[in-house]
Every structure is written in structure tokens, then in C-alpha cells.
Amino acid sequence: MIAVSIGRTRHKMVVAEHRALAERGAELVELRLDWLSRQPDLTRLLKERPTPVIATCRRQIDRGRWRGSEPQRQTLLREAIVAGVEYVDLEGDIAGQIPRYGKTKRIVSHHDFDETPRNLEAIHARLADKDADIVKLVTMANSPGDGVRMLELVAEAEVPTIGFCMGELGIPSRILCGRYGAPFTYATFTRERVLAPGQLTFDEMRTLYRYDSITKDTQLFGVLGDPIGHSLSPLVHNAAFSHEKLDAVYVPIRVPPDALAATLDEFGRLGFRGYSVTIPHKEAVLERFGRPDDPAWEIGAANTLYLDGEGEWQVMNTDYEAALDSIRLGLDPDDEGELEGKKALVLGAGGAARAVVLGLVRNGVQVTIANRRGERAAKLAEQFRCKQVQWENRTTVHADILVNCTPLGMHPNVDDTPFDKNAFLEDMLVFDMVYNPESTLLLKEARERGCRTVSGIEMFVRQGAVQFERFTARDAPLDAMRAALRKGISPVRDGSS
Ligand code: NAP
């Protein structure tokens, strides 16, 4: 179950939000009484309440907003119990002063906004000792492993325990605590009113992560990277799991640069079976798990780590296959996917360019590379035995296929383009790896000149689809993944593809 926190300054808004949440399917609401600007009127808040509630009134030392005195606060909590709220939240240090009464269940809580202490078990035992129906332990994650320790505590606790970590590093524990036995997690009504660091919205918890269907049998996947907040992979993979009715969830895992090895061990203890891997860990996973015959070695980076049927970790670079498939998608049907003998101009010489150049060269395409920093293009051209041209001279190349592997044109710089619109050749296939927006200026101008075009959406979906297939040994639902990605990208789209 998801408890949705309402923190509003006006009673009227609390009541309206409560009603709206109930209409949207919320089953439990936390009323943050400390947010109200006037003395809380419990009768008004509780009369005809559309869902069960948790009454919470946080002190300022616990990052709450209560401005009255402590005796007044405790009186309010007692009044809430007498009024029959379903749950009351009592901080561990005052829980002993407020006796059990009626049917109200006691959540005995402790928050630590600085760290996840080593002695979690001792803190938990102290809270459980305060006549707790539920223990709530919420701490700041300073490493990905903090959330794992918390989930392990939840799993072993004898008293029902809600335990998760705050902050971006703690997000997996918010999503997964139910899997380890937490009676509920917390979410916020909207992104504009996040009441604690790292809190997700009710819609994200329910629709994106399908919190209520996560059980101890749910298979675990995620994306490892730093930063990770803007990753669209959770949208795409969870949509695929949902579409295929698979009991699996995919979470964002922020892993600071020096924390990869420890995180893999810690999340391994939870039973994670596969990861997408992004900056800055693409090289490190390859070095740790790569095999010499993998194309990922030639690219120098892996974006996927998964357990194979034998229980062995394997790495892969799915950009390679995805880029090739995207280019084939845009070829003239008369070509029947044949790339041999074609000429390609690749703009950029970063990680994505390396994957596409390798794929093209291996399929008999004559590749020319142009990069802003010429020395990088020269190095790549030498490694893959192809040509190089100065960035300034890129429009002079006669190519059948143009591939943009630079971020030029990406949101918010949507008026940028890496190529001169007068230099497109009529039968050119133009493939832009940028996927946000879907219809970049490069692609719009290419279409105006009669070129065939493929957007970065196709590659993003395909690299995710190959990962999905490795994770689940099933065909990926491309259409569902594409639709989820389109929904997730910025609204700067014009609808064309
Ligand atoms: P990267 O390793 O950081 O490489 C970036 C490349 O873009 C470099 O060659 C860089 O040139 C060039 N560049 C950056 N800013 C430029 C500018 N203002 N003018 C000209 N060139 C510029 O990044 P990456 O991983 O290869 O990714 C490149 C792009 O592809 C990104 O937009 C990424 O989102 C996109 N991508 C899409 C997918 C997909 O699935 N659709 C997959 C992977 C990547 P210098 O060497 O001179 O710095």
C-alpha cells in the first residue's frame, strides 16, 4: 500500500486534495498537520474522510513545520487518537508519553536527515519497544548500500517495519520496501510538493513502478549511473514489464563514481539480475566482467550487465546492435537491409560514435568521421581503418548515410544542428541519435530535402529492447517501449517521426 502525504497550509486544500487522491485510487493518506497555517481543525479534516488516514505532526527538529509548543503538539496527537484516526505517527522519544487508545494503530518513527547510522538495529529495537504496531525508520542515504542495509533490516524485523532511505541514493529502497515486508511506503501528491528528499509521486509509485504488485518474488533490475535523475530507462523498461505482465521492476540506482564494486555486491544481496549501465560506469563494468570476444571491447564500453542462464554475469553494448538496426530501418526497402558498399559520414567521435562506426565498418560500409576535436576523429579512424575529415569540411563528403552522434539539437538547444541544410543529398538516409526532441532540426531539414530519416527514439528503444531480451529471455514489446519513451520526453515534439 502507498501512503500519500498531504502537506498544505489551508484546510480547504487538504480536504480537496484528500478527495482527489481518493478518486485517483489512494487507499491511505498521511495528513501532515504541521503544514497547516492555522490551528488544525480535526473535525473538519476527518469528517467524511474518503480514506483511512495517518495523523502526523512533525516538529521543526525533524524538519517539520509545527510552530506551536510541544505540549500543544502532543495534545493534538492525543485528540487525533480520540477522534479515531486509523494511524498516528509518534516520534520514538515521545511515544511513551502518549498511551494507546481505541483502534488507532501506533506508528513509532525515527528520522535521521544526515545519515543511515551503523546501529540501525539498536534504533529499531528502541522504537519497537514503545508499544509500536508499526516501526517507521527513515534515514538519509549517503551511499547506495545504505538503502540495502535498511531493506535487510525491514526483512528481518519482527514488528512490521516501514524502512527506507531519503535522498536520490535512497530511491530504490522507497520503491522496494514492500518487497521486504514494509506495510506501506510514502509518496507525495505531486512533484511540486515533495515533503521529503527523494520522495516519488503517487503516480510514479503506482503506475511507473507498480508498487502494489511488487512482492518477494518480483525480479529486480535497474540502471546504474551518476547522474541518474533524468534517465528515461525506468519508463521504458517498466512499460515493457507491464505490457508483458512480467513480475519484474526496474529502478534507478545512483552509483557515485567510486561506488560501483560495492554497489554490485550490495544489490547482488537483494537479488538484482540485470542492469543498464550508463556514465560513468560503462568502462568499469566492461573491465570487470567483459570477455575478449565481445564487440563491447572494441567499443571500449558496455551499457548492459546481466545474469545469464548459468548464473554468470555478462556484459554487452546494446548501442552497437541498436544503431545498426535503426539505420537498416531507414534504408530504402529495395536495399533489403544491405549495407555493404554504402558510404557513411559519422558526426562525432564519442562513445555512441564508436558503437556505430564499428557496426558500419563490420558491415562493409565505407565510413568517414568528422569530429569537433580532430584528433579524436583521427584516433577513431585509425582504430577502425576508416577515413576522417575536418569538422569544418564535413559537408563536402559524399555519403549515402549521415549519422549524428553529437548532442547538437538536443533539448533545450533545439535550434542547433550539426549539418548544413543545403548539403543534404537527395537519397541520403539521415539518422540522428538525439532522441529529445524526437524531431530535431537536423531531421526536419533533412525531410524537407527529401531525405529518409530515422530518429534517436528508434535507437533508444532498440538498445533497451536488446537489454529486455537479455534480462527476460523474451521478445521485447517495441511499440509499448516506444510509446512510453515518447510520453516521457520533453513536450518539444511536433509529432512527426
Ligand atoms: P560523448 O561520448 O560525450 O561524445 C559526444 C560527442 O559529441 C563528441 O564527439 C563531441 O566532440 C561531440 N560534441 C559535443 N558537443 C559538441 C558541439 N557543441 N559541437 C560539435 N560536436 C560536439 O557522448 P555519446 O555517448 O557519444 O553521445 C552522443 C549523443 O548521442 C548524445 O546526444 C546522446 O544523447 C546520444 N545517444 C543516443 C542514444 C540513443 O539510444 N538514441 C544512445 C547513445 C547516445 P568532441 O570530441 O570534440 O568533444
Share of the chain above pLDDT 70, in %: 98
Ligand 1 close to Cβ of residue 435 (< 6 A): yes
Smallest CA separation from ligand 1 atom 21, residue: 372
| pLDDT surpassing 90 at residue 475 | yes
| pLDDT in the model for residue 497 | 31
Check if 463 has its Cβ closer than 6 Å to any atom of ligand 1. Answer: yes
How large is the average pLDDT for residues 328-350? 93
> Which helix (H) or strand (E) covers residue 441, if one does?
helix 441-448
- Å from CA of 408 to ligand 1 middle: 8
Tens of pLDDT along 349-383? 998 999 999 999 999 999 999 999 999 999 999 99
Q: How far is CA 372 from the centre of its chain?
A: 31
| Residue 167, C-alpha cell as written in the block | 535522498
Band (151; pLDDT cuts 50, 70, 90) = very high
- Per the listing, cell 556514465 goes with 279
Q: Cα–Cα distances in Å, from 10 out to 6, 15, 37, 188, 396?
A: 11, 9, 7, 17, 65
What's phi and psi for 26, nearest 5 deg? -65, 140
Residue 490's pLDDT is what? 61
Hey, which bits of 64-129 come out as E strands? 87-91, 105-112
Is the CB–ligand 1 distance for residue 439 below 6 Å?
A: no
In the predicted model, is pLDDT for residue 267 greater than 60? yes
How far apart CA 4 and CA 21 sit, in angstroms, is 8
Handedness of CA 473, 267, 132, 158 (dihedral sign): positive
Q: Is the Cβ–Cβ distance between 254 and 168 less than 8 Å?
A: yes
Query: What pLDDT band is residue 494 in, cutting at 50, 70 and 90?
Result: very low
Which residue owns the Cα nearest ligand 1 atom 20?
372
Handedness of CA 306, 312, 313, 319 (dihedral sign): negative
pLDDT at 402: 98
Does the Cβ of 50 fall within 6 Å of ligand 1? Answer: no
**Protein residue closest via CA to atom 44 of ligand 1:** 352
Cβ atoms of 144 and 171 within 8 Å: the answer is no
Three-state secondary-structure class, residue 184: coil
Given the CA of residue 456, which atom of ligand 1 is nearest to it?
41
User: What integer is the mean pLDDT of 256-269?
Assistant: 97
CB of residue 375 inside a 6 A radius of ligand 1? no
CA–CA–CA angle 464, 220, 236 (5° rounding) = 30
Q: Ligand 1, residues 405, 453, 478: which to mutate, most atoms within 8 A of Cβ?
A: 405
What pLDDT sits at residue 291?
85
Give catalytic status of residue 203 as yes or no: no
Closest CA to 388 of 407, 373, 405: 373
90 CB within 6 A, ligand 1:
no
Q: Which atom of ligand 1 is nearest to the CA of 391?
A: 20
Cα 156–chain centre separation: 27
Query: 272-277 and 28-32: which strand pairing?
Result: unpaired
Quick one: which H or E segment has residue 305? strand 304-307
Going by C-alpha positions, the residue among 441, 443, 447, 442 that lies closest to residue 426 is 447
Please tell me the predicted confidence (pLDDT) of residue 354: 94
> 191 alpha carbon to ligand 1 midpoint, in Å?
30
Secondary structure (H, E, C), 260-302: HHHHHHHHHHHCEEEEEECCCCHHHHHHHHCCCCCHHHHHCCC
The conformational region for residue 374 under phi > 0 = left, psi -120 to 50 = alpha, else beta, is alpha
* Strand 304-307 versus strand 272-277 pairing type: antiparallel
**Ligand 1 within 6 A of CB of 406:** yes
Give 187's pLDDT tier (boundaries 50, 70, 90). very high
pLDDT of residue 493: 42
111 assigned to active site = yes
Mean pLDDT of 215-229: 96
> How far is Cα 51 from Cα 425, in angstroms, rounded to an integer?
63
* pLDDT, tens digit (0-9, with 9 covering 90-100), for 287-319: 999 988 788 998 999 999 999 999 999 999 999
Which ligand 1 atom sits closest to the C-alpha of 463?
A: 40
Active-site annotation holder among 124, 136, 237, 342: 136
Q: Which residues are CB-neighbours of 375 under 8 A, at least 6 positions away?
A: none
Q: What is the residue with the minimal CA distance to atom 12 of ligand 1?
A: 406
| 245 catalytic per annotation | no
pLDDT above 80 (res 209): yes
DSSP string, 16-77: HHHHHHHHTT--EEEEEGGG-SS---HHHHHTT-SS-EEEE---GGGT----S-HHHHHHHH
Looking at residue 496, its pLDDT comes to 34
Q: pLDDT at position 491, please?
A: 57
**Adjacent-strand bridge partners of 274:** 221, 306
| Each residue's pLDDT tens digit, 461-471 | 999 999 999 99
CB atoms within 10 A of CB 385: 8
CB distance 356 to ligand 1 below 6 Å: no
- Mean of all residue pLDDT scores within the chain: 95
Active site residue: 89, 146, 226, 319, which one?
319
Helix/strand/coil percentages in the chain, nearest 5: 40, 20, 40
